[in-house]
Structure 1
Amino acid sequence: MESYKIWLIAGAVLSGIAGLLHLAIILGGAPWYRFFGAGEGMARAAEAGQWYPTVVTLGIAGVLLAWAAYALAGAGVIALLPLLKPALVAITAVYLLRGILFVPALMMKTGSATPFALWSSLICLGFGLVHLLGVAQGWQRL
């Protein structure tokens, strides 16, 4: 198997796990929102039975699962999806920018960064690098 396909499949697995984890957070409720750093406001809203945390988290899960599908399409595991190349570039860029810029932006705004912000940024940076390797190596074949 060509190495770019391995990187894109790995990216799909990572995005898929993140998407499924967001679905699990909905099921886990307020304690899970707190543990995974969604903030006290989201946790309290979930405790109160408000729809907002569920809708937002479902939206994030949907995006992450769509990104997994695009990575799988790029690897040739599933059928091609529309705008595959620009979508993979955008997905890679979002992960990398989230990984690189979130903590500095947070520190400029609030003066500090939480452990969640640091860890989630490192995770996003890792996801972005995996996607970048797949996209860069497979550029001519995508």
Structure 2
Amino acid sequence: MNVFLIVAGVLNTFVALLHLGCIYFGAPWYRFFGAGEQMATLAEQGSLRPTVITSIIVILLSIWSLYAFSAAGVISRLPFLRLVLSLITLIYLIRGIAGLFLISSPMGRTPEFWLWSSIICLLFGIIHFIGVKQLWTSL
């Protein structure tokens, strides 16, 4: 069992659940979590767009959770563990770094959104990286 990848799986699951909360609770949650006024307004108007976009994120994060749990030995082995976990780690790290450059021109979001979401993505990426590094030869 790899503690870092178990933590990564739990964190991915938690964030997926927060995204489900955005779908269920609508505009106030989209606003609170910094999805942007456009997403919140679309949710208020009953548009399916926020639900579809957020559902895709939920599915993606859920798959990422499964891969982290699989590599950690919590569930059975999934295919392409090394490749998929490397990509997940890379995506988190790139998103975390790139978001820091968007603080000064937030593109419909707040600078605070970019700061905090970038810190979170970097943290998630580091946790994934450590877990993957520890298991690299067995993946």
Which interval holds the TM-score relative to the shorter structure? over 0.9
Instruction: Provide the residue aligned with 2:85 in structure 1.
Output: 88
Instruction: Provide the residue aligned with 2:100 in structure 1.
Output: 103
Tell me, in whole angstroms, the C-alpha distance in 2 between the residues paired with 1:113 and 1:31.
15
Q: Deviations over 1:17-49 (max 9, x none)?
A: 001110011111101101110111100100010
Asked whether the 8 Å contact 1:107–1:113 carries over to 2, the reply is: no
The worse-fitting range, judged by mean Cα deviation, of 113-122 and 130-139 is 113-122
Instruction: Provide the residue aligned with 1:43 in structure 2.
Output: 40
Identical pairs, percent: 49
Runs of 4 or more, structure 1, over 4 Å off, are none
Tell me, in whole angstroms, the C-alpha distance in 2 between the residues paired with 1:26 and 1:118.
23
CA shift, 1:103, in A, is 2.0
Instruction: Provide the residue aligned with 1:133 in structure 2.
Output: 130
Structure 1 stretches lacking a partner, 5+ long = none
Q: CA RMSD in A?
A: 1.7
CA shift, 1:108, in A, is 6.2
Tell me, in whole angstroms, the C-alpha distance in 2 between the residues paired with 1:71 and 1:81.
10
- Give the direction of change, closer, same or farther, for the CA distance of 1:105–1:116 in structure 2 (3 Å limit): closer
Asked whether the 8 Å contact 1:70–1:84 carries over to 2, the reply is: yes
Q: What TM-score, normalized by structure 2, do the two folds share?
A: 0.93
Counting matched residue pairs gives 138
Asked whether the 8 Å contact 2:71–2:77 carries over to 1, the reply is: yes
Asked whether the 8 Å contact 1:103–1:121 carries over to 2, the reply is: yes
Write the letter of the residue equivalent to 1:89. S
Q: What TM-score, normalized by structure 1, do the two folds share?
A: 0.91
Tell me, in whole angstroms, the C-alpha distance in 2 between the residues paired with 1:38 and 1:27.
15
Tell me, in whole angstroms, the C-alpha distance in 2 between the residues paired with 1:122 and 1:53.
24
Instruction: Provide the residue aligned with 1:114 in structure 2.
Output: 111
